[in-house]
Chains A and B, each alone.
Chain A
Amino acid sequence: MLPYEVRVLLNTNYFGYLCTRGSYPHITPIFFAYDQRESLYFMSDFSSKKIRNIMKDPRVSLVVDVRDDSDPFNNEGVMVSGIAKIYLPGEIELDEYHDIYTIYDLFKSKYSEFVEFENGEDVIVEVGIWKVSYWKGPHFKTIRVKR
């Protein structure tokens, strides 16, 4: 299980910053949902740069942090690293439907006002967490997740 502080951060923050690999690294702000276990989810347009990058190299990192622009000692954050898996809309296996609906529910409860129901080109991406690096002020710790 992830440490308590990390779970709190993942549950109470709306923005994450996702870094993927390409010819240059690529960063995008994303909305994400945490399944309370060892996966994060986000949604993206299939033709987006991050999805194209993930198809070439699925290793990604995501930062979720709380920042205080007057006191650096209050900065707190986590870098989550893991392997991304893309669920393509047309290729979802029957037994995955349950998971997909659970993910939709996670998003609905977290971002209720910002969700719209519409079939689009969006894909769901699961990030299986391998490693988390947590910091608060000047203190760091890194935890590897057994998978």
Chain B
Amino acid sequence: MDKWVYELIVEKIPPFSFLKGRHVTTFQLLLMLFVGIGISLYYHLPFRSLIMGSLTILVVVIWSRLTLIIAPTIRAFRPSLSEEENGIIEWYRELLFSKKRPELFAGLAIFIPLITYLYFNPYLIHYYLGDNLVVIAFAMVLAWDVAYRAGIGLWVYALCLIRSFRLFEASKRRKGLEHTLLNDLKAMERMDRRGVVYALTALLLFPVLSPDKHLTIFVILYSLSIMTFSMLSISLIRRVPWLPPDIAELLEKAKFAYVGHEGEDFPHITPVVQVFNGRNVYFVTSKASKKFKLLKKNNRIAVLIDERDPRDFFGNKAVLIVGKARYYELHNFLPNILKLTKVRNLFMEKYSQYISTYGKRKEELPEAWRLTPILKRIPVEVEPEWVVYWRGARRIRIGL
């Protein structure tokens, strides 16, 4: 796997190579603005050229920053635990970072038609730059910077969409413990969300290109396509299950779970009833419970879900889900009402008998246990951060 040309420039060429993280792009912004403003003042360009030039520089720098976040994320994906899905991710990475530098071709595919168009319709050039060759040369460099990054955006997000689609299709064929790592799927989703930012950034070019109708339409179409690619990709990647079918089945079947918390003087662990909606695990707790008080102080929790068979210890399965808990009270209940209604239905389905016994013997319950949803009983969501799975208990080994 290779790096993109821009990444190599930033990595190898001083002074960029001395800088880290966002300082790289901040420095790039200042440098480009300095040169740009310098040129426009020296050659007495109109004020509009200075403003629109700076706006273009801003677009280049935002896209650069996004590029420098996206590329390492993609390279960091670990091997997937499903052969088919792994093949898709490898294929996708290979295309993005091939030695043939496809991102340069994508850039050229935008730059060459742009230059040709400007050669035959030089209105925009006269409007901003007059006929000074130095100024035009600088503008062409800037145009290449824009086209190169626009090419990367198009290439990255078109491939993201195909990747998401193929992963989604492949995930339907998973068996047993096959899956793509949870954190990689989350990283893909985050990356696709950045696509929305990428698309919106393109719209900053709208005022710059507005004197030319065709280029304006082009930039809008460009922004719309990146937006569409990334939104579709998000919706597909969100449908790829986070957990392998074996674990999902256990979560759906197992009625009890244990919730663990670091507690106060000692760790705290209690049994709860739980449901799983394909992504997160939910349990319900009383506002008066110790668990809830602890959760408000520290939201890091562990949930263990297992299937135990007293006749056959070695047929046992257990899954530990570790992550941050989020609870729903009145203020954040409404915005999530659809999700929470589904969760409530899952509870009603899974624990119908349980809930009806609760209802019948309500008078015997302490105040805190009465089922007053939201006001007293609070749904808690646990988004998995990492997951451990055991199958079969280990024998007890006694050393002699």
Contacts and interface: CB of A to CB of B under 8 A. Distances in A.
A108 interface: yes
A69 B273 CA distance: 9
Contacts of B301: 24-25
B260 interface: yes
Contacts of B174: none
A69 B399 contact: no
A122 to B, nearest CB: 5
Given A15-B308, A17-B258, A25-B301, A62 B396 contact: no
Interface in A55-73: 59-63, 65, 67, 69-73
Given A14-B313, A29-B306, A67 B266 contact: no
Given A72-B358, A82-B266, A117-B400, 20 more contacts: A20-B267, A21-B262, A25-B322, A27-B303, A29-B393, A59-B267, A61-B263, A61-B267, A69-B256, A71-B354, A73-B361, A73-B364, A81-B267, A89-B399, A115-B395, A118-B397, A118-B399, A120-B399, A130-B266, A131-B265
Given A17-B258, A29-B316, A122 B399 contact: yes
B267 A120 contact: no
Given A21-B262, A25-B267, A70 B353 contact: yes
Contact of A26 (B266, B322, B364, B400): B322
Identify the 6 closest CB pairs spanning chains A and B, nearest first.
A81-B266, A19-B260, A19-B269, A27-B304, A25-B260, A19-B267
A27 B258 contact: yes
Interface string B303-315: 1101010100100
B51 interface: no
Contact of B270 (A79, A82, A111): A79
Given A28-B304, A72-B354, A19 B397 contact: no
Contacts of B269: 17, 19, 25, 27, 61-63, 79
B296 to A, nearest CB: 16
Contacts of B263: 61, 81
Nearest to A44: B394
B396 A59 contact: no
A101 to B, nearest CB: 10
A117 B399 CA distance: 6
Contacts of A107: 396, 398
A69 B267 contact: no
B300 interface: yes
Contacts of A89: 399
Contact of B398 (A63, A71, A115): A115
Interface in B310-329: 310, 313, 316, 318, 320, 322-323
Interface of B: 255-256, 258, 260-263, 265-271, 300-304, 306, 308, 310, 313, 316, 318, 320, 322-323, 353-354, 357-358, 361, 364-366, 369, 385, 390, 393, 395-400
B304 A138 contact: no
A61 to B, nearest CB: 4
B395 A116 contact: yes
Contacts of B308: 15, 29
Contacts of A34: none
A9 interface: no
A69 B306 CA distance: 14
Contact of A69 (B270, B354, B393, B398): B354
B271 A24 contact: no
A111 B304 CA distance: 23
A30 to B, nearest CB: 9
A60 B48 CA distance: 68
A47 B263 CA distance: 24
A15 B256 CA distance: 14
A29 B304 contact: yes
B265 A59 contact: yes
A39 interface: no
A75 interface: yes
Contacts of A70: 353-354, 357
A14 B313 CA distance: 9
Interface string A132-147: 0000011000000000
B260 A104 contact: no
Given A17-B258, A70-B353, A73-B357, A24 B397 contact: no
B17 to A, nearest CB: 34
A43 interface: yes
Contact of B396 (A19, A21, A67, A114): A114
Contacts of B385: 24
Given A72-B357, A72-B358, A138-B364, A60 B255 contact: no
B376 to A, nearest CB: 14
B320 A27 contact: yes
A60 B271 contact: no
Nearest to B351: A69
Q: Please indicate which of the listed interface residues B301, B320, B398 has the most CB atoms of chain A within 10 Å of its own CB.
A: B398
